[in-house]
Structures are given as structure tokens and as C-alpha cells.
Structure 1
Amino acid sequence: MVTWDQIMFLIKGSHKNFDTIEEISLIRKGDLLMREISSIGPYHVGVYCGKHVIEFTAPENSKFSHQFTSCSSNSESGTVNKKSVKNFIAKKPYRVVRLRMAIPENFSALVEEAMDYDGIYHPLMNNCLHFALRLLELEPGSIPKSLPIQRDVEISMDDLEERATLTGRNNMEIN
């Protein structure tokens, strides 16, 4: 289920555990590209995975307005795509944000595995942000409240999970 904090993340395009990357030329694997859906928000999220952005979208025959006015789940699988950065952005305003920790060591394998994902798209239960968080091996239901800031030291997922348990990862705060 989408939490209030995730809704705010999708609307604002920022969060205290993510740094905004000002120059698109500085993008790197694991960065989230957040493209405006409309001028009043929210953002659509994809994950940069090298030369492409991987995204999870509603079924092609699903209307945008129906996705957000209906809380009932449809029975159709969402679509996973890889697009160039240019095609993902599609001349719309966007942000690039980077998690303040290392991406999973097996990130490339997770992306390849995700290409076969056939989950049911639901705007509240299984959306583009949930998909992106799973690729970063974060819980899709929440973003950890407090993450270590990435410096020159790599942090293992075991260390992160232990720290997240100690800090209560379900109580996220938005800047």
C-alpha cells in the first residue's frame, strides 16, 4: 500500500534520504529519474540502469484517470520497459535523485530479472515507486526513515537491514 510519505515523495520529488542530482550528465546506475506526469504532479519513477531507464507502468489499455480514481485492482499485468533517458523524460520536467547509500552489488542481475516481472499494476498497491524501491532492495511498502549517508565506505545490505531495524524503517519523514 502506498504510504502518505510515498505520496509526498511522488508529489514533491524529494526526500531526506535521497540527494538531488543537478546535472543529468552525473547520473549513475541506481539513480531514480522522476518525470512529471502533469504540471500539478505526481512524478512517474524509473531507475537508471546504465544506458537505459527501467520502468513499471500500468497496462497500456488502462486510462490514467481510471488508475487514480479507482482503488479496485485490475487483473492485468503492468508493463516493464527499458527506455533511453531521452525517451523516458519525453521533454517533460524531471528530477534525478540518488539514494544516500550504495546500490545492491547485484543491481544488474536484479534489472535483468525485473524485465520478466508480470505483477499486477495498482496505483496504491504496486506502482512505479514500489518497483523502483524493489530494484534498490528496499521494502516496497516504505522507505527507511534513516539511512547511512554514502561516503567512501561501502555498507553491506546486512548492515543496512540491521540499522533499519534499529531506526524503525516504517516511520519515514519527508524534508
Structure 2
Amino acid sequence: MSFKSQIICSTQTLVGASSTIKFFFSEALMGQHFQEVELESCEPEPGDLFLFKLRSPKAQWCGAHVGVYCGHGEIIHFEGRAPSNSGVQTLLGYCEGVVCKQGHRALQRSRELWRVLRRRGGVDPRVLESRIREAMDNDPPPYHPTSSNCVHFALNLLGVDSMSVDRNLTRD
């Protein structure tokens, strides 16, 4: 890959990463599509977004991860699995996508829960169940940290167009 191509790829990666980061921090988006839920006062509902804080073991970097509550104590989420010998280039490029369903309490033990969001107007449980089944039955798409990540996966399950969310976020 030429130096110019690497710069263009890096710029696209930064722009995509910026829109994903804005998803987690944009109160305008949250107010438009979601409301925060306090789990101490109620139980999670199918379609709730669980946002987790992520930190590397040595706290050299941090990020966030999102999954969708399926009901029955389970969360479905999407993540990338890079080969063990990969470097930064693989982390900025595509790698194997993995769709997982885990118990929400087990997931909360392995990752720090940041917040829970509920889609305004709710979700149709039958449609959500159908999308979850489809995600579990089909081969997952390749994972990319900016263009095909856990945020895109979760918004797709909820029927929220991530492209319009990205456009709204870039205006903020």
C-alpha cells in the first residue's frame, strides 16, 4: 500500500471512528432516538442497548462496546477477532466478525457497564427476535472498527439506520 493510500485509509478510519465515538457521547442522538434507563428501578427490556466501557489491561487505550438485550437474560453483540499475530494495520482494517449471545450478568462481570439505553417508542419484539435469529444463523460480516462494528450491528438490529445517525452526528 502506498503512503498516499495509507493516509487516505487513515483519514477514513478517523472519520468513521469519530462518528462511532460521537454515538456514545452525543446527547442529541440519545435524546432523539434513545432514553437512558436505570436498571435499579426496572428490568431490562428486549431491544435495550447495553453500553460497556472498555480498557486495555495497561489502560493504554479505552473504548466502548455495545450489545442489544434479547430478553431471557441474554445480550447479543458483535466484535472482531483479529489473528494473534496481527498488528495495528489489522486493527485498522477488516478482520473476522463474531456474533455472540451471552448472559447479561456474565457480560457485566467481564466488562464495565456504562449505561443502558432504550429506544424511544420501543421496538417490535417479533421483528427484533427475527433479526436476532437471522444474525445468529447467518455468517457475520467482516468486522471493521469504523464501518462495520458493534454500534452498526446494534442499530441494525433495532431498525435504526446507522447511515442517517452518522450524518446527524457529523452535523453536531
TM normalised by structure 1 equals: 0.69
Q: Which residue of 2 aligns with 1:137?
A: 159
The structure whose residues are more often helix, as a share, is 2
State the Cα distance separating 1:93 from its structure 2 match. 3.5
State the Cα distance separating 1:123 from its structure 2 match. 0.1
After superposition, the Cα gap between the structure-2 partners of 1:8 and 1:81, relative to the gap in structure 1 and judged at 3 Å, is same
Q: Which residue of 2 aligns with 1:9?
A: 23
Say which SS state the counterpart of residue 171 (structure 1) adopts.
helix
Counterparts of 1:18-97 in structure 2, within 5 Å, are 18-23=34-39, 25-38=42-55, 41-51=62-72, 52-59=74-81, 61=83, 66=88, 70-71=91-92, 73-74=93-94, 76-89=95-108, 90=110, 92-97=112-117
Q: Which residue of 2 aligns with 1:163?
A: none
CA contact (8 A) 2:54 2:111 kept: no
Say which SS state the counterpart of residue 30 (structure 1) adopts.
coil
Say which SS state the counterpart of residue 141 (structure 1) adopts.
helix
CA contact (8 A) 1:33 1:96 kept: yes
Which protein shows a greater Rg?
A: 2
State the Cα distance separating 1:8 from its structure 2 match. 1.7
After superposition, the Cα gap between the structure-2 partners of 1:94 and 1:173, relative to the gap in structure 1 and judged at 3 Å, is same
TM normalised by structure 2 equals: 0.70
Counterparts of 1:110 and 1:50 in 2: how far apart (Å)? 13
What letter is aligned with 2:142?
I
Counterparts of 2:86 and 2:71 in 1: how far apart (Å)? 28
The structure whose residues are more often strand, as a share, is 2
Say which SS state the counterpart of residue 134 (structure 1) adopts.
helix
State the Cα distance separating 1:173 from its structure 2 match. 7.9
How many residue pairs get matched? Answer: 146
Root-mean-square deviation over aligned CA pairs: 3.1
What letter is aligned with 1:2?
G
Q: Which residue of 2 aligns with 1:156?
A: none
For structure 2, the 5+ residue unaligned runs are 1-14
